[in-house]
Amino acid sequence: MNEEKNNSVWSQSISIKEQLSLMGWLIKTAKPAKYYILAALFGMLGGTVLMTYTTRILANFMNNQLSDDTTVFSQLVVFALIFTFWRMILAVFNFIQNYFISQGAFMALSDVRVRLFDKLHSLGMRFFDQIPAGSLVTRTMNDTSTFWDFWFFIFQFLSAITLIIGAYIGMYMSNAHVTNWLLIIIPAITLIIGVYQKFSTAVYKTMRSKLSSLNAKIAESVAGIAVIQDFNQEARLSSEFQKINSEYYDSRYRMIKADAWLDVLVDLVYGFSLALTLYLLGELSVSNIIVGGTVYAFVNYLGNIFHPLRHLTGSMSTLQDATVSAYRVKKLFAEDEYAPKQNANADGKITKGKIEFKNLNFSYDGKNTILKDLSFVAQPGQTIALVGHTGSGKSSTINALMRFYEFDSGEILLDDQPIRDIEMKNLRREMGLVLQEPYLFYGDINFNIRMYDETLTDEDIKRAAKFVGADKFIEKLPDGYKTIVREGGNGFSAGEKQLISFARTIAHNPKILILDEATSHIDTESEHLIQDALEVIQKDRTTIAIAHRLSTIQHADLILVLDQGQVVERGTHDELVKQDGRYAELVKLQTKQEM
């Protein structure tokens, strides 16, 4: 899957059959709120029955009591009270309908988002390599928000259908002859909506496609503003933006015209229906007495038909939005790029920290092999360093060890157990990973070190921070460990963020440490603090370190020099320098750069 294809879904043609399938899927997603929806349906049906009979009761009153000279004032008062009570009951049914459909829609929307969030966390790293984070946020929040509008649209549709059926029943009970003539409304409206839907679908997809391009251009311009200004490209970018914006304006204008024409045509049919009704009733009045109540009933019932229709036609774009959004979200639910799985009944534990790679082959796409026949052993408590140029396979080795990706063949053994037989929770708990670019979450420093592990006390957190030397800058902050950390750690230097990340790992006391160029963004003073701490915390812990600064791995028990996924040199720092091979060249090159 790639994002270009997903974004272009707005310009793709979705068949009628697939649209119906997607609408069916959307209706099924509301299943957790079925009792709320049933309550809302009860309110809707009750309201429809009352509205139909209210009009008929009032029409009969006008035809009988109001036209009868013997009617006394007290009868009018009693009818007014009964009618008021009747309207109050109708208001209760309307409240039940609106309250429960709102609650049900919120519940269904919440359920979809939670399931989608859980789905994302079950997917493997390969999936996230291909899809930008912004797109996933859009699908989880923006796309799912259209489901709310869709459920309301469906409920409006059902409400319109019941009102129309009720109106025709009421009209038929008033005068069957006129009602039979008014049946022509149904094919007329169906034809108008069908033509509108066919035209608007194409226009709407074009409009949304242009809007996506507009958003992409804005995001690209903001992200690359420094490069744009450096190369004096503001005018060119502005011209491109104006072109896309103009295309979006044109498609939006066509959509507005289509909506306006739809309203006009519906109003024309409504006007024609009223004129036809008055003509037919007038014709009948020549031979029969047609009183005002009957006229009122037909006019009111026609309003019951056309008012919900106008609401529906004004919400047709909701159907387009929800259908395309459902296509994207459903595709995400169907994604099968899951995180690597452990073997059934995997219950192995890491107790010592021995690591062994046996003839490991690894690729990201199943085609281009990154690690080729990789083999090495790290005894408990040893430090193994991985060095090599960019693309040599250092990070891929860590990815395979951490089970972020599945390897193709060979074995990884932990304490002489196949890694797939280790319980995943134990695997994560006993491996401490410090990345090159640390990430801090919104909260305070305490939270970022604790990371939801409530078994850690404040003293444990302070002890971990002191281990890595983070206590020196934390305790100088006004709020100390309670200092608020903004998303991404904004406000902290790269070195400070790395020290907090390192403290987070140490606080959980793992048996295996994995350092992915963990000191590359730290200043020299901070690096010395971490090196001092590592001498203590590496005792009785196995450490795998990817090194950018070779000075940080001189005391490693074993250094592996990787090239194109293969070990080309191995040994201690002194042994490799004496070999005068690739490692020695890297040492000489880095020494020159530091001079």
Residue 280, in any domain of the structure: yes
Helix (H) or strand (E) segment spanning residue 384: strand 383-387
State pLDDT tens for residues 362-415.
998 878 899 999 999 999 999 999 998 888 999 899 999 999 899 999 999 999
pLDDT of residue 115: 94
| Domain co-membership, 420 together with 503 | yes
Out of 72-81, 185-194, 428-437, 478-487, least confident range: 72-81
pLDDT digits (tens, 9 = 90+) for 323-339: 878 888 898 898 877 77
Sign of CA dihedral 366, 370, 374, 379: negative
Question: How far is residue 329's CA from residue 138's CA, in Å, rounded to a whole number?
Answer: 10
DSSP β-bridge partners for residue 119: none
Q: Are residues 454 and 485 in the same domain?
A: yes
Q: Which two tokens stand for residue 519?
A: 């000191």
Q: Highest mean pLDDT: which of 70-74, 443-447, 485-489? A: 443-447
Q: How confident is the model at residue 4 (pLDDT cuts 50, 70, 90)?
A: very low
Q: Is residue 7 part of a domain?
A: no
The answer to whether the beta carbons of residues 108 and 152 sit under 8 Å apart is no
Residue 559, classed as helix, strand or coil, is strand
The domain of 184 spans: 16-334
CATH number of the domain where residue 496 is located = 3.40.50.300
Predicted confidence band at 237 (pLDDT cuts at 50, 70, 90)? confident
Residues 538 and 543: their CA atoms lie apart, in Å, by 7
What is the model's pLDDT at position 252? 85
Q: Do 207 and 325 belong to one domain?
A: yes
Contacts of 225 (CB under 8 A, 6+ apart): none
In a domain, 343, yes or no: no
Residue at which a domain ends, from 304, 334, 364: 334
Same domain for 483 and 573, yes or no, is yes
pLDDT on residue 12: 57
Range with top average pLDDT, 381-385, 489-493, 524-528, 537-541: 381-385
**Residue that terminates a domain, selected from 271, 301, 334:** 334
What is the per-residue pLDDT across 415-427, written as a single tens digit (0 to 9) for each? Answer: 999 999 999 889 9
Q: Looking at residues 273-299, what average pLDDT do you find? A: 78
Distance CA 300, CA 274 (A): 10
Residue at token pair 């020299």: 524
pLDDT at 32: 92
231 and 375: one domain?
A: no
Instruction: State the SS3 of 366-382.
Output: CCCEEEEEEEEEECCCC
Summarize pLDDT for 52-61 with one digit per residue, the tens: 888 888 877 7
Nearest to 437 by CA among 492, 479, 380, 386: 492
The SS3 of residue 545 is: strand
pLDDT at residue 396, as a whole number: 92
Please give the pLDDT value at position 33: 92
Q: What angle do CA 226, 228, 232 make, to 5 degrees?
A: 120
Q: How far is CA 395 from the centre of its chain?
A: 28
Domain boundary among 275, 301, 334: 334
Residues 329 and 359 in one domain: no
Q: How far apart are CA 214 and CA 232, in angstroms?
A: 21
Q: pLDDT value at position 344?
A: 87
In a domain, 342, yes or no: no
Let me know if residue 35 belongs to a domain: yes
Give how many domains the chain has, as a whole number: 2
192 and 96 together in one domain: yes
Q: Is residue 31 part of a domain?
A: yes
Q: pLDDT at position 360, please?
A: 95
Nearest to 412 by CA among 436, 396, 389, 392: 396
Q: What angle do CA 359, 365, 369 make, to 5 degrees?
A: 35
The answer on 426 and 394 residing in a single domain is: yes
For all residues of the chain together, what is the average pLDDT?
A: 84
304 lies in the same domain as 378: no
How far apart CA 483 and CA 505 sit, in angstroms, is 19
Task: Name the least confident of 156-165, 213-222, 520-529.
Answer: 520-529
The pTM (predicted TM-score) of the whole model is 0.72
Residue 6 lies in a domain: no
Nearest residue to 245 via CA among 278, 276, 283, 217? 217
Same domain, 330 and 383: no
Residue bearing tokens 């038929």: 172
CATH number, domain containing residue 218 = 1.20.1560.10
Clarify whether residues 393 and 282 are in a common domain: no
Q: What percent of the chain has pLDDT over 70?
A: 91
Total length of the chain: 595
pLDDT digits 0-9 by tens, 197-212: 777 777 777 777 787 7
Amino acid identity, residue 527? E
Which residues does 65 contact at the CB level (< 8 Å), separation at least 6? 71, 75, 76, 79
pLDDT digits (tens, 9 = 90+) for 9-51: 555 556 678 878 888 999 999 999 999 999 999 999 998 888 8
70 located within any domain? yes
What is the arrangement of strands in the sheet containing 409-414, beginning at the earlier edge strand? 369-378, 355-363, 409-414, 417-418
pLDDT tier, 62 (very low <50, low <70, confident <90, very high otherwise): confident
| pLDDT for the residue numbered 286 | 60
366 with 318, same domain: the answer is no
pLDDT of residue 3: 42
